[in-house]
């Protein structure tokens, strides 16, 4: 899972993980966080997800982090936006209205950038990473978020032996192992989605569910 893996996926247009619509589970479960409208929302490994537009429309300041320059370019171009640009130690910043995307390494963000994050939206970061990088992601991003920060995390669950990721299976036991020591963890929904995912069935996956968690840091 070197950076070149993801850069190549974008260059070759192999972005089946990208959705052409807002994630319904975000629309359904985000209100439960009761986040102040101006709260800053971190979306790591954001790609060009339309979910960032949805969050911005709720009044939030959105901070995306993405490795691929193509993803960042396409996000703004497809929205008809011309972002302002500047560089920092975190990477290259692209800003248009309430949305800012840093083209850089999500594992190397500085403390000041994370200090005022009110919530994390994680649909495609945790499940994009193999186990050792999931732990590093927790330790370098989640562990440095402020008290009272919340997260909405959407995962996939399937027999990992039946398919090589990404996306990877992250079950409830692993969520507990990763986060329960420092975060309050609430499973909000789990649903069977195998019938809606032909690519998984074609690869021989026998069971597939998605789960939605709300996390809160005391």
The tens digit of pLDDT for each residue in 171-192 reads 999 999 999 999 999 999 999 9
Contact 85, 70 (CB under 8 A): no
pTM above 0.85, yes or no: yes
Closest CA to 127 of 157, 168, 158, 164: 168
According to the model, what pLDDT value does residue 52 have? 97
Per-residue pLDDT band for 15 (boundaries 50, 70, 90) equals: low
Mode of pairing for the β-strands spanning 40-44 and 61-66: parallel
Phi, psi (deg, nearest 5) at residue 70: -65, -40
The tens digit of pLDDT for each residue in 82-128 reads 999 999 999 999 999 999 999 999 999 999 999 999 999 999 999 99
According to the model, what pLDDT value does residue 107 have? 94
Q: Which helix (H) or strand (E) holds 212?
A: strand 209-216
Bridge partner residues of 36 (DSSP)? none
């Amino acid at each position: 899972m070197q950076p070149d893996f993801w850069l190549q996926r974008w260059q070759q247009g192999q972005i089946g993980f990208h959705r052409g619509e807002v994630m319904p589970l975000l629309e359904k479960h985000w209100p439960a966080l009761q986040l102040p409208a101006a709260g800053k929302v971190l979306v790591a490994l954001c790609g060009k997800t339309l979910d960032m537009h949805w969050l911005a429309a709720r009044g939030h300041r959105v901070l995306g982090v993405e490795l691929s320059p193509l993803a960042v370019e396409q996000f703004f171009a497809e929205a008809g936006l011309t972002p302002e640009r500047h560089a920092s130690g975190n990477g290259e910043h692209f800003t248009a209205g309430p949305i800012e995307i840093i083209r850089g390494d999500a594992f190397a963000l500085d403390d000041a950038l994370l200090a005022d994050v009110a919530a994390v939206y994680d649909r495609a970061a945790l499940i994009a990473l193999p186990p050792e990088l999931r732990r590093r992601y927790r330790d370098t991003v989640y562990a440095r978020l402020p008290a009272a920060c919340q997260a909405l995390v959407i995962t996939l669950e399937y027999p990992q032996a039946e398919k090589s990721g990404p996306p990877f299976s992250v079950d409830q036991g692993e969520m507990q192992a990763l986060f329960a020591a420092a975060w309050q963890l609430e499973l909000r929904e789990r649903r069977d989605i195998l019938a809606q995912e032909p690519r998984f069935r074609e690869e021989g996956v026998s069971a597939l569910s998605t789960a939605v968690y709300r996390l809160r840091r005391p």
